[in-house]
């Protein structure tokens, strides 16, 4: 009986020691995990851009984070990732050595990429869009972008009937990852154009689409207020119907831009520039769009107002005065253009 009691006592002691060792191991593991979950450098807030490719395994990502000194232990990262049963989402993420491991893992699992804004205003030509890119955080992609939007294969892919994607680059604020290429930006802008253009545009014949694109680009440059754009459209469509020269100053400015000359103010002699874009010399629409335009100008080109107007003069306050006859137009011209020129 005594031997049995002694055996039981020894068994309890060994069991207690075993449980103690096990608890110590578990405690040590959680202490180790806590230590390795701390930021690598709490004072270092510099960001590193990490790309997660589609189909990537977190095992590879954890090793990359460790190699770039963004986490303390790839094993700790893999363990927590497995415990939380996260899914790795492709994208570009900004990671800092000052971040805790759990925060880094949450970022990858959330799919919330690091994106920067690039705002392309309405009414810009391709070259002007290039200048906007040049002044942004994406300046390194400018050249590839400009080459892509003139690439015959790119134009053929989208059935663009012009020698560039002028007019098809939708003006908007884009959220982009830092490693986007010039080609990817061009694709995004053209895709956005077709998305915004809507079904009514897509149902037009190819020839009608060309006319609408060119007209909308002129309306965008000539109009100041959205409410006036359908009226401006009516002036141009009325002149086209009567085979009257469009005489759009915006097309003349673009003609100079095509020659690498920037014109902020036109002189009378400038209206004689030899260019198919000069609608003071050549009848009909110019050969291709002259700017990127928004949905308001596109809608105006497809749905001009019903008017008898053939002329308009800019009043200098964002508005135009529209007239039906040359006599009325000259009166408006004397009132708003000559008078202002004399004052200056």
pLDDT for res 342: 47
- Torsional sign, CA 301, 306, 311, 313: negative
pLDDT for res 263: 85
Helices 58-67 & 74-84 angle (0-180, nearest 10): 150
pLDDT at 3 over 70: no
Confidence of residue 344 (pLDDT cuts 50, 70, 90): very low
pLDDT at 12 over 80: no
pLDDT at 343 over 50: no
pLDDT for res 60: 87
Indicate the Cα dihedral angle 311, 312, 313, 317, nearest 10°.
170
Give dist(CA 72, CA 100) in Å, integer: 10
Mean pLDDT within 106-125: 90
User: What is the 3-state secondary structure of the chain?
Assistant: CHHHHHHHHHHHHHHHHHHHHHHHHHHHHHHHHHHCCCCCCCCCCCCEEEEECCCCCHHHHHHHHHHCCCCCCHHHHHHHHHHHCCCCCCEEEEECCCCCHHHHHHHHHHCCCCCEEEECCCCCCHHHHHHHHHCCCCHHHHHHHHHHCCCHHHHHHCCCCCCCCCCCCCCCEEEECCCCCHHHHHHHHHHHHHHHHHHHHHCCCHHHHHHHHHHHHHHHHHCCCHHHHHHHHHHHHHHHHCCCCCCCHHHHHHHHHHCCCCCCCCCHHHHHCCCCCCCCCCCCCCCCCCCCCCHHHHHHHHCCCCCCCCEEEECCCCCEEEECCHHHHHHHHHHHHHHHHHHC
Which residues of the chain form CATH 3.30.1490.480? 48-110
Q: Tokens at residue 189, please?
A: 């802008």
Give dist(CA 208, CA 292) in Å, integer: 18
Mean pLDDT within 184-210: 94
pLDDT, the chain, mean: 90
Residue, of 118 and 20, whose pLDDT is higher: 118
Listed range (1-10, 46-55, 162-171) with the worst mean pLDDT: 1-10
Q: How many Cβ atoms from other residues are within 10 Å of residue 188's Cβ?
A: 17
pLDDT for res 6: 66
CATH: 3.40.50.300, 3.40.50.11890, 3.30.499.10, 3.30.1490.480. Which one for 48-110?
3.30.1490.480
Listed range (20-34, 161-175, 239-253) with the worst mean pLDDT: 20-34
Residue, of 183 and 10, whose pLDDT is higher: 183
Dump pLDDT digits (tens) for 49-99: 888 888 888 888 889 999 999 989 999 889 988 888 888 888 888 899 999
Give dist(CA 226, CA 123) in Å, integer: 13
Buried (b) or exposed (e) across 162-173, using 16+ Cβ within 10 A? bebbbbbbbbbe
Q: Tokens at residue 292, please?
A: 């990127």
pLDDT for res 8: 61
């Amino acid at each position: 009986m005594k031997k049995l009691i002694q055996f039981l006592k020894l068994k309890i002691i060994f069991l207690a020691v075993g449980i103690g060792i096990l608890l110590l191991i578990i405690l040590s593991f959680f202490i180790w995990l806590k230590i390795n979950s701390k930021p690598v450098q709490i004072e270092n807030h510099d960001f590193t851009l990490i790309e997660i490719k589609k189909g990537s395994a977190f095992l590879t990502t954890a090793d990359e984070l460790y190699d770039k000194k963004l986490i303390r232990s790839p094993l700790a990262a893999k363990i927590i990732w497995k415990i939380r049963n996260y899914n790795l989402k492709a994208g570009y993420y900004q990671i800092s050595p000052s971040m805790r491991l759990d925060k880094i893992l949450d970022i990858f699992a959330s799919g919330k990429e690091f994106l920067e804004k690039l705002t392309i205003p309405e009414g810009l030509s391709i070259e002007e869009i290039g200048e906007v890119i040049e002044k942004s955080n994406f300046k390194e992609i400018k050249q590839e972008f400009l080459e892509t939007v003139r690439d015959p294969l790119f134009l053929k892919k989208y059935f663009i009937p012009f020698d560039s994607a002028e007019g098809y680059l939708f003006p908007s604020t884009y959220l982009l990852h830092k490693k986007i290429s010039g080609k990817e930006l061009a694709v995004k802008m053209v895709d956005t154009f077709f998305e915004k253009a809507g079904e009514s545009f897509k149902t037009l014949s190819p020839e009608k689409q060309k006319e609408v694109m060119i007209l909308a680009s002129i309306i965008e440059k000539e109009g100041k207020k959205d409410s006036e754009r359908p009226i401006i459209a009516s002036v141009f469509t009325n002149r086209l119907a009567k085979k009257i020269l469009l005489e759009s100053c915006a097309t003349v400015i673009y003609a100079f831009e095509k020659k690498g000359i920037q014109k902020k103010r036109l002189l009378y002699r400038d209206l004689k520039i030899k260019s198919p874009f000069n609608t003071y010399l050549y009848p009909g629409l110019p050969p291709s769009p002259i700017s990127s335009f928004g949905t308001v100008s596109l809608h105006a080109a497809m749905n001009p107002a019903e008017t008898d107007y053939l002329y308009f003069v800019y009043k200098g306050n964002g508005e135009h005065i529209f007239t039906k006859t040359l006599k009325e137009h000259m009166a408006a011209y004397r009132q708003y253009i000559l008078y202002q020129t004399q004052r200056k």
